[in-house]
Structure 1
Amino acid sequence: MARYPIAAVAIALAAGSAVAAEPVRFEATVDRDTVEVGDTLTLSVSVSVPNEGRIESLVLPEFKGLEVVSRSQSTQMSYRFGSGGAGMEKVDSHVIVLRAVKTGVATITPAVLRYDGKRYTTDPITIKVLKAGSLGGRAAPSTGGGRPFGGNSPFGGLQDPFDLFDQFARGMQPRELPTAGKDDLFVRLVPDKREVYLGEQVTLYLQVFSRLELSSFQNLKLPKFDGFWVEDLDSDRQQIQSERRTVNGVPYRVYLLKREALFPMKAGELRIEPAKVEAVTGFGLFSTGRTVERRSNSVTIRVRPLPAEGQPPGFQSTNVGQWRLSADVDTRETTLGQPVTYTLEARGFGNLNALELPELPKLDGFKVYEPTRTERRRVRGGRFGGTKRVEWVLVPTRTGELTIPALSMSVFDPQMERYETLHTDPITIRVEAGQATALAPGAPAPAGPTNVLDAGGLRPLRYHVRLERVQAEPWRSPIFLGSLALPAAVFGLFVAGDRFRSLLASRADGGRRARGAARSYLKAARRERRKGALREAVAAVERGLLEYLAAKTGLPVRGMPREQLERELGERGYAPKRVERVAAVLERCENARYNPAAPSPEEVDALIARAERVLEDLEEGPQP
């Protein structure tokens, strides 16, 4: 038995002399390349360089479709055998435990190493992620294994020297790794509070206490947290934190694996089942460590209902935490028909997802479109919260000073143990007439022309003459004068008739140009529709119809309130049904412009078809 290690070394040296060793070995491997959603896999990045060399930089891979559960790193020295003889080499090992978060193909990008002025990269790795339960509890093995060359020997019929080295390592290993006892390695779920109000945050810590050297963690299984809304507090954390702590006089290294913000959704006693995790203990020159599974304790949280005393009428039970409410508009002065954006925002700490903001009431003088809702999460000092925002587009329908009333929202502060009602300030917007109309504040459009001299600045001219009777000469008689003016009158009528015919021809030509322009806009709308630019297609339909109406009626329709446009068309003899069809198309265009959701391709096709029918109706003129 004493000669076996010596023989193994000799065989290894002989095999090493047959194959020239590369000065740098740089590889990335995974323990499996097919997993289910929620499963974990282990990525190992290994760098082996001569001891006298210098590593300039090492950039670890990035992960697409995977989240980091834990990271660990170790450095060790080992003997190296090659054609140049034996020597010392430095081995840097990085072990990263990843968890699959969604089905599909996840990607691990190449790692990049710079050593002695040269650049080395590993191959990218793809992971196939299946639905939970697809593998039936069986983990698919990795095709590459954990060996250099992906398990395919480049030595042909010769015995692989890596196998000889494994035999040498087993011969040199004097004993097995020590077994981890329950007191040497255990896992704990630790809540910051065990009694809370409904909707109040509980911060839960998953900690590993160890007296042994740990190299990595894997296969972390969190409980389901029934009865809680859960937010991850460590989504931006890249490394596992650890600290030294003494428990009952025994020193431990404590690793923080996970922090979760739990918001109870019902009152009573809620039980959190144990978590499970696998820890890899021990590492060295000739060992890969031992995997030990540990279960945590269970936790019970007592949830108190919100107090009935002082609760505001209609209170939303999910509005719990420390919140502030504010509102503002993008402009406080606008013109008729131009949109104003009203923003309502809640900012603070609590269950951001469940927070209910007040709705905007019916507003006099505004047309209100569907709002856009956004959330931005924030974690500070272990407290979860952020900003919740709702934006409405408001289009004024009359001039004057229009007021958006104050809004209110009631919340329960669990720290102060009391209810509080938050208020916004009312906002006044001044709306002036645009270029298309000049209305008095709050007044409807005038039905006919307005006398601009009513203010009294000018008065009509008055002439004072004195009449005297004179004897009329023959050549001053009306008959004589009329005979002289008759040729000029006939010539004037001829010229006026010619000009009238030219005017009619010009108007007909203008109508043809208006029709041509409208058709061009509809063609542009179809082109935008085929490109998928749906909002641009709607804008082209609206502009074409407005340009046609302006040329056909002589009205400055752009910016004109919809009610005034309908009234003007009716006064020009257009039938009510035709006016309704025009208004309906313009209404659909306006909704598509201001609604947060883009129109569908089918809706755009229907809108173009309706616009074509409206243009055909308008071509027939004002008659019904």
Structure 2
Amino acid sequence: MVRRQRGVQGRVAAVRALLACAALGAAATSPGLAEGREVALRADVSARQIGVEDQIQLTITLEGTSLDLKEELEPPSLTNLVVVAGPAVSTQISFVNGRMSQARTYTYLLQPQGLGSATVGPVRAVLADGTRTTDPITIEVHEGSLLPKRRPAPRSPFPFGDEQDPFEAFFGQREPPRHATVFVEAEVDRHRLFVGETLRLTYWVYTQTALAGLEFAEAPRYPGFWAEALPRETAPPQGEPVTRDGQAFTRFPVYRRLLFPTKAGTLTIPAATFTVTVPRRTGFFADPFPSAASTLTRTTRPVAVEVEQPPTAEPFSGAVGQFRASAAVDRETVELGEAVTYRFRVEGRGNLKWVDKAPPLAATGAKVYPPQVKDAFKVTLDGLEGSRTWEFVVVPQTAGQLTLPAGDFAYFDPAARRVLRATTPAITVDVRGATAVAAAAPAAPAATAAEGTTLRLRGDLGREVSALPTLDNGAVAVVLGVAALSHLALWGFPLLAGRRAGRARPAPRSARRALAEIRRAGRGGLTKEAAAMLIENALVEVFGEVPERPSPDDDERTATLRALLHEVRFVRYAPQLGDYSEKLRELADRASAAVARWA
């Protein structure tokens, strides 16, 4: 009888505590309090009067719309108490009127060490918007055992039999797993599109109950599609009320992907399987232990879409979407022998990330090197947005006006259902050179330049200009005639003889000196332009200029030197995008080997 009275008294005390919590919750929902403290921290024990043989449960709860802990929650200090088990940590998510709230519970089992007073110290939680602290809890410990022993009671078929606890319906009871009103669905924003067009896929969860967790049972697959993941959202997802088959649900977006079909035809997005965790305790309090939750498996239906090939025979870049183009150079005036950087940029929304082939660029009177590619993309709900820039290194080979042709980028616009073109105007660059040297250039080097060889270095041209005397117009004409005849005698006949023999005659330069300069370039300590120029000078002055266009009569030496000079010049004029020291050492080693073998 005494034990029964104690049980009733304990339940009455619990009801009073619950009503106090309800009053506190009502106060917390007032506008002034809700605005200041969106996250609440509570600590409580299952009893304040216990025996030395009893064990009590300490429950610490964080509750709010977003639980952003800056530091891990530390257990409180204990006086005359020890931790027997715990902490057991659980998280519960609930949805009310389309809004999500979370509750994280830490549960400890405590045992008193002796008679007298026991204390649970303050609990401190450091959150993004400030610090929360609970009040200390005082417990009185008496002899023996004061708490009733829990025994399993037979369930009565009557709603209010003597064996049934009437408070159990209020606090919550364990129930066997049952079919939860939860399902998942895959949804696309369109069912007909073109190859390369953006398709947005969203996985939704529809629920009528609180969920403790949801995750993929296995990685989803997207055969026939190129997939781009959307960035994770920092804010909690917002639910929206919907009705399905006459029943009310709240649905939440679980996972989103951007898909780009890579081929035409009927493509199917396979079913995706999710593991859903649902709490098994009903009532006001949810069980804090994860083992008390039931795990369900839910699967979406496959989704089929019809993909069309772009209806046009006109060739285009492969880009599908809406784009615009722009072009610019890093400088509009350049000295002969220096490089110009030409940037062709395409930006917009679509599958631009697919496009690997650079737009063509050819300029009369200049050497154009393969471009570097720079990307700046971001994935949004509306699609893949950003830009791709091709940077060409252009080296003028003649002085005067260098015209870089108009740029053209063809793409397919699904809205217009046709190929459109993004164009840029032509750009003119003023190339300043040594006009006296250009006028005095003999016929043989001019023919070589026409064959596609790189012009001599700017420094070499400068030295020749300073060596010429200042003459009047008549003297200049005489000098030009003598220079042309002399150059023809010195270079024309040896070059013709060299072509018949299958190899060019080396220039009168010491191979030992060339090797020394090549080694100097490979040791480091120079800019990439200076090091590459040393290697280029050494090779050209030892072996002469090598035609860039291959010929059936080329021997091994000519082919090797052509490839080597091409790489050296590319490094020399390329933008400074990284460390070239290793590449320069490799080129120096190859150049040294060529000089040692053929010089």
Task: Quickly name the TM-score band, shorter chain normalised.
Answer: 0.5 to 0.7
Instruction: Give the aligned partner of residue 433 of structure 1.
Output: 433
Distance 1:115 1:93 in 2: 7
Alpha-carbon distance, 1:315 to partner:
3.1
Pick closer, same or farther for the CA change 1:206–1:537 going to 2, 3 Å.
same
Which amino acid in 2 is paired with 1:74? Answer: A
Instruction: Give the aligned partner of residue 65 of structure 1.
Output: none
Q: Give the match's secondary structure for 1:364.
A: coil
Distance 1:169 1:440 in 2: 111
**Match status 1:591 vs 2:570:** yes
Instruction: Give the aligned partner of residue 304 of structure 1.
Output: 308
Matches within 5 A, 1:487-526: 524-526=520-522
Residue by residue, what CA displacement relative to the aligned partner does 1:128-151 show, whole Å, maximum 9, x if unpaired?
xxxxxxxxxxxxxxxxxxxxxxxx
Instruction: Give the aligned partner of residue 103 of structure 2.
Output: 74
Residue by residue, what CA displacement relative to the aligned partner does 1:360-387 show, whole Å, maximum 9, x if unpaired?
2432211122211122212345222321
CA contact (8 A) 2:517 2:538 kept: no
Instruction: Give the aligned partner of residue 585 of structure 2.
Output: 604
Alpha-carbon distance, 1:224 to partner:
1.5
Q: Give the match's secondary structure for 2:289.
A: coil
Instruction: Give the aligned partner of residue 179 of structure 2.
Output: 181
Alpha-carbon distance, 1:325 to partner:
1.6
Distance 2:263 2:446 in 1: 60
Distance 2:539 2:407 in 1: 43
Instruction: Give the aligned partner of residue 377 of structure 1.
Output: 377
Pick closer, same or farther for the CA change 1:582–1:24 going to 2, 3 Å.
same
- Percent of pairs identical after alignment? 23
Alpha-carbon distance, 1:244 to partner:
3.0
Q: Please point out which of 71, 85, 89 is paired with 2:118.
A: 85
Distance 1:169 1:600 in 2: 79
CA contact (8 A) 1:76 1:92 kept: no
Q: Please point out which of 269, 274, 278 is paired with 1:272.
A: 269
Pick closer, same or farther for the CA change 1:256–1:180 going to 2, 3 Å.
farther
**Match status 1:190 vs 2:177:** no
Residue by residue, what CA displacement relative to the aligned partner does 1:286-319 show, whole Å, maximum 9, x if unpaired?
4323222211121111123322xxx363234x32
**Match status 1:200 vs 2:197:** yes
Instruction: Give the aligned partner of residue 498 of structure 2.
Output: none
**Match status 1:542 vs 2:527:** no
CA contact (8 A) 2:529 2:573 kept: no
Distance 1:357 1:611 in 2: 35
Q: Give the match's secondary structure for 1:326.
A: strand
Aligned Cα root-mean-square deviation (Å): 5.6
Alpha-carbon distance, 1:451 to partner:
7.6
Distance 2:560 2:278 in 1: 77
Tell me the TM-score normalized by structure 2: 0.56
Instruction: Give the aligned partner of residue 262 of structure 1.
Output: 259
CA contact (8 A) 2:521 2:584 kept: no
Which amino acid in 1 is paired with 2:315? Answer: G
CA contact (8 A) 2:536 2:568 kept: no
- Which ranges in structure 2 are unaligned for 5 or more consecutive residues? 11-45, 63-70, 79-99, 134-148, 154-167, 280-284, 448-463, 477-509, 548-555
CA contact (8 A) 2:124 2:132 kept: no
Q: Please point out which of 281, 286, 289 is paired with 1:287.
A: 289
Pick closer, same or farther for the CA change 1:46–1:196 going to 2, 3 Å.
same
Q: Give the match's secondary structure for 1:47.
A: coil
Q: Give the match's secondary structure for 2:190.
A: coil
Instruction: Give the aligned partner of residue 314 of structure 2.
Output: 313
Instruction: Give the aligned partner of residue 349 of structure 1.
Output: 349
Which amino acid in 2 is paired with 1:227? Answer: G
Which amino acid in 2 is paired with 1:192? Answer: D
CA contact (8 A) 1:79 1:89 kept: no
Which amino acid in 2 is paired with 1:243? Answer: G
Instruction: Give the aligned partner of residue 571 of structure 1.
Output: none
CA contact (8 A) 1:80 1:86 kept: no
Pick closer, same or farther for the CA change 1:169–1:586 going to 2, 3 Å.
farther
Q: Give the match's secondary structure for 1:589.
A: helix
Pick closer, same or farther for the CA change 1:267–1:609 going to 2, 3 Å.
closer
Pick closer, same or farther for the CA change 1:334–1:442 going to 2, 3 Å.
farther
Alpha-carbon distance, 1:442 to partner:
11
Which amino acid in 1 is paired with 2:286? Answer: G
Distance 1:367 1:267 in 2: 40
Distance 2:441 2:359 in 1: 26
Distance 1:293 1:340 in 2: 61
Q: Give the match's secondary structure for 1:607.
A: helix
Residue by residue, what CA displacement relative to the aligned partner does 1:46-93 show, whole Å, maximum 9, x if unpaired?
6355599xxxxxxxxxxxxxxxxxx99524486773666365987989
Q: Give the match's secondary structure for 1:353.
A: helix
Q: Please point out which of 232, 235, 250 is paired with 1:253.
A: 250
Alpha-carbon distance, 1:424 to partner:
1.7
Distance 1:372 1:519 in 2: 32
Distance 2:569 2:362 in 1: 19
Q: Give the match's secondary structure for 1:247.
A: strand
Pick closer, same or farther for the CA change 1:91–1:446 going to 2, 3 Å.
closer
- Which ranges in structure 1 are unaligned for 5 or more consecutive residues? 27-44, 53-70, 95-110, 117-166, 459-513, 553-560, 565-576, 619-624
Q: Give the match's secondary structure for 2:220.
A: coil
**Match status 1:392 vs 2:392:** yes
Alpha-carbon distance, 1:323 to partner:
0.9
Distance 1:517 1:250 in 2: 90
Tell me the TM-score normalized by structure 1: 0.54
The number of equivalent residue pairs is: 428
Instruction: Give the aligned partner of residue 216 of structure 1.
Output: 213
Pick closer, same or farther for the CA change 1:87–1:243 going to 2, 3 Å.
same
Alpha-carbon distance, 1:255 to partner:
2.1
Q: Give the match's secondary structure for 1:542.
A: helix
Distance 1:518 1:354 in 2: 46
Distance 1:585 1:169 in 2: 89
CA contact (8 A) 2:271 2:301 kept: yes
Pick closer, same or farther for the CA change 1:215–1:524 going to 2, 3 Å.
farther
CA contact (8 A) 1:541 1:611 kept: no
Q: Give the match's secondary structure for 2:238.
A: strand
Q: Give the match's secondary structure for 2:353.
A: coil
Pick closer, same or farther for the CA change 1:292–1:388 going to 2, 3 Å.
same
Q: Give the match's secondary structure for 2:431.
A: strand
Q: Give the match's secondary structure for 2:430.
A: strand
Residue by residue, what CA displacement relative to the aligned partner does 1:427-476 show, whole Å, maximum 9, x if unpaired?
111100169x7535999889998785445899xxxxxxxxxxxxxxxxxx
Q: Give the match's secondary structure for 1:394.
A: strand
Pick closer, same or farther for the CA change 1:237–1:452 going to 2, 3 Å.
same
Instruction: Give the aligned partner of residue 367 of structure 1.
Output: 367
Pick closer, same or farther for the CA change 1:220–1:255 going to 2, 3 Å.
farther
Q: Give the match's secondary structure for 2:360.
A: coil
Alpha-carbon distance, 1:180 to partner:
5.5
CA contact (8 A) 1:217 1:279 kept: yes
CA contact (8 A) 1:578 1:614 kept: no
